[in-house]
Structure 1
C-alpha cells in the first residue's frame, strides 16, 4: 500500500485558467497593455491542444499570448461562450484572500484580519479604515477568488482555475458555495453553471459598473443541490436526477400448480399452498383461483387420482365421495407452538389432511 506526505496538498493538476478579461496593446508608445473586461470567458493554457479543443467547443480563435510579468508564452482563446458547464471537485474548492502583487510576485496576502506573508495585522485596514476596499488597486490589496473546476468536455483529467479580483464577486461566490457545502458536506462533486454577469451600483451619487462571475449548481431542482452528495454519474449528467426510477422486472411467479401435481400426498400438496401463502400469492381465505386449483389437486390426490394423467386408482370407499361427489373436509389448524397463527383455505382441504400435517 502506498503512503503519503501528510503535510502536502493533494490537488488535481491545473490544465489551464478561466479568465474574465484580457489585455490589448496600448496605441500609446511606452504605455502598458490596456485591460479589457470580457463579456465571455477567456481560457488560457500552456497547452495548445487544450486551447484548440476549447475553441472548437466554445468558439473563438486560438492565439499565442504572453501574460504580464512573464516571459513564457502561452495559448488563449477569447471564447464565444457566455456560459460554461463545469464540475466542482469534492471539498471546499474556493480559495480567497486579499492580495497585492508586484514585480517580485505576491507582496501581501491577507484574510482581512492578518497579513500572512509579513505576519502582521491587516495593512489596508490599519492604514485606510473600514472603507479601504473603495480605494484604487494601486494602493490596497485586491480581493482574489480562485476556484478549481473540471471542464468535462475538454481533454485530460485536471482542473481549470477560475480567478476573479472583483470585490462583489468574492461575496457572491462565497455565499453560493457555502450553501452547497453545508448541504453536501463537501464529500461529493457538484455540477455547476458559470457565467459573467454585468451589474451596477450607486454609491455617494456615483454609478459604478462591475461584473461578477456567477457559479450556481446545475441541477434540475433546488432540492437536488440541498439533498446531500450526488453520484459521479449524476454530476456528469444531472438530468438523471429527475428521471423516474426504472421499475425492476417482477420476479417470475413460481408454478405452484405444477409443483402440487408432482406431490403424492395431501400433506405435500398443502405444503405447496403454505409456500404460496407465505409469498403472498394466494388469499388466506382460499377464495382466489390459485387456492381453488391447489385445493382441487389435493382432493384429487385424496381420491387416488393421478394428477399427471387424470387416471383414478383403486381405493376403498372409506375416503370416497358422497352421492353429490363431494369429499369430507375440515378446517385444519396447523399452528405450531413456536409460530404465529396462519390462515388456510376454509373449504376444500380433504379430511385426511390431519392437523400438524407435514411439508411446511
Structure 2
C-alpha cells in the first residue's frame, strides 16, 4: 500500500521537442521550430533505440543551466504512443533567466498562493499557456513516460480534450503523436506553424464503448467503462480570449466536428471573428537580455512567409454572413454545401471549395 501523503508518478525518461535553439547573426541563439520530432534524454542507450526506430544520430546536448544530456533529431513526424492516466497539465506560465516566475491556473498563482496576476487580456498577458503532455513511446523499451511541452494556442485548445478522453477509455490507449502544419493569413502574409496532435486507429464507436486493442488491453487496469461522454467546451468563452480570427475558425471547426454547432454559437463566433479582423498594430517588443518568456527550446508558434493561400475559416465566415441575409440556419447551410459537394462537410472543405459555394450562393444557384 502506498504512503498516503506522497503523490506517485511515473518516471520521466526524456522529452519530446518540436523546437531547437539556432545561432543568430549577432552571435547569440534563438528558438526555432522544427518539422519533425527531436528527443532528448540523460540516457544515450535509450536515445540510440529511438534513433534506430525513427532515424537520426545521437549527439551530446546540454540544456541551459543543466547537466549534460543527449539528443536525437529524428526523421519522424508521427510516432506510436500509449496514453497513460492523467496525461496532461496546463498552466499560464512566465519564465525568466531565474526560472519559472508565475504558474497560474487562471484563478490562482500557485507558486505564491495568490490571485492569478497573468491578466485576462491575451494581448497584454505576459504569461503563456503551457501544455505538458506525458506519453509512453510504444516501440521504445523502458518503463516511463516522455514529456512534450508546447506553448501554442492550438495545442492548449486541442490536446487536453483528446488526451483526457483517451486516458479515460480504459487502460493505456494505443494512439499516434503527430505533427501537423497549420497556416493562416494575417496582414497579407501567411503564418505557418507546427501543432502536435493525437489521433487513433480506433473507430469512435469502439473508443467510446471502452474497446481498446493490442498493448492497451495488456496494461489496462480497473473495470471497463460502458461509455464516455466528453464535456462540451465553452466555445464562446474560448473565442472571447482568442487573439485572431484564425483561432476562432479553429473553434468553429472543432464545434462542427463535435456536433456542438448551433445558430446561437455560430452567431457568437462569427461576431468575434469579425471583431478580430480589425487591423491592429503589431507588437514588436524584444525580450530583455537574460530573460525569456518561456523555457529554452520553446517552439516558435508561427512565422511569416509569402503565400497566396486562403484560410477556409475566413471564407466560411463570409458564407455565414451571406446566408444570414437569406434566413438560412447553420444546419441548412451545411446540408446545402454537402449536397453540392458529394457529402463533404464545410468543416473539412478547402478554401477553394468554400469559395465556390459562396459564389454559387451569391449567384442564386443554391436552393
Cα deviation digits, residues 269-317 of structure 1 (max 9, x gap): xxxxxxxxxxxxxxxxxxxxxxxxxxxxxxxxxxxxxxxxxxxxxxxxx
What TM-score results when the alignment is normalised by the length of structure 1? 0.56
Larger Rg: 1
Count of matched residue positions in the alignment of Structure 1 and Structure 2: 219
Aligned partner of 1:194 among 177, 186, 190: 177
Corresponding position of 1:226: 208
Tell whether the 8 Å contact from 2:174 to 2:212 is kept in structure 1 after alignment: no
Aligned partner of 2:194 among 211, 217, 227: 211
Aligned partner of 2:156 among 170, 173, 183: 170
Corresponding position of 2:109: 115
Deviation at 1:155, TM superposition (A): 2.0
What TM-score results when the alignment is normalised by the length of structure 2? 0.55
Tell whether the 8 Å contact from 2:92 to 2:118 is kept in structure 1 after alignment: no
Corresponding position of 1:4: 2
Q: Give the unaligned 5+ runs of structure 2.
A: 220-367
Deviation at 1:123, TM superposition (A): 1.5
**Greater share of helix residues, 1 or 2?**
2
Alignment partners' CA distance in 1, 2:188 and 2:166: 36
Alignment partners' CA distance in 1, 2:183 and 2:130: 20
Corresponding position of 1:88: 83
Deviation at 1:62, TM superposition (A): 1.0
Corresponding position of 1:59: 55
1:179–1:234 Cα change, 3 Å: closer
Alignment partners' CA distance in 1, 2:137 and 2:201: 13
Q: Give the unaligned 5+ runs of structure 1.
A: 238-360
Corresponding position of 1:42: 38
Q: Tell me the SS of whatever aligns to 1:54.
A: helix
Tell whether the 8 Å contact from 1:55 to 1:61 is kept in structure 2 after alignment: yes
Deviation at 1:34, TM superposition (A): 2.2
Q: Tell me the SS of whatever aligns to 1:150.
A: strand
Q: Tell me the SS of whatever aligns to 1:5.
A: coil
Structure with more contact order per residue of length (Cα contacts < 8 Å, sep ≥ 6): 2
Tell whether the 8 Å contact from 1:66 to 1:72 is kept in structure 2 after alignment: yes
Alignment partners' CA distance in 2, 1:203 and 1:25: 27
Deviation at 1:86, TM superposition (A): 0.4
Alignment partners' CA distance in 2, 1:22 and 1:104: 20
Mapping 1:175-324, distance limit 5 Å? 175-181=161-167, 184=169, 187-202=170-185, 207-219=190-202, 221-228=203-210, 230=212, 233-235=215-217
1:83–1:235 Cα change, 3 Å: farther
Deviation at 1:175, TM superposition (A): 2.6
Alignment partners' CA distance in 2, 1:236 and 1:75: 31
1:116–1:153 Cα change, 3 Å: same
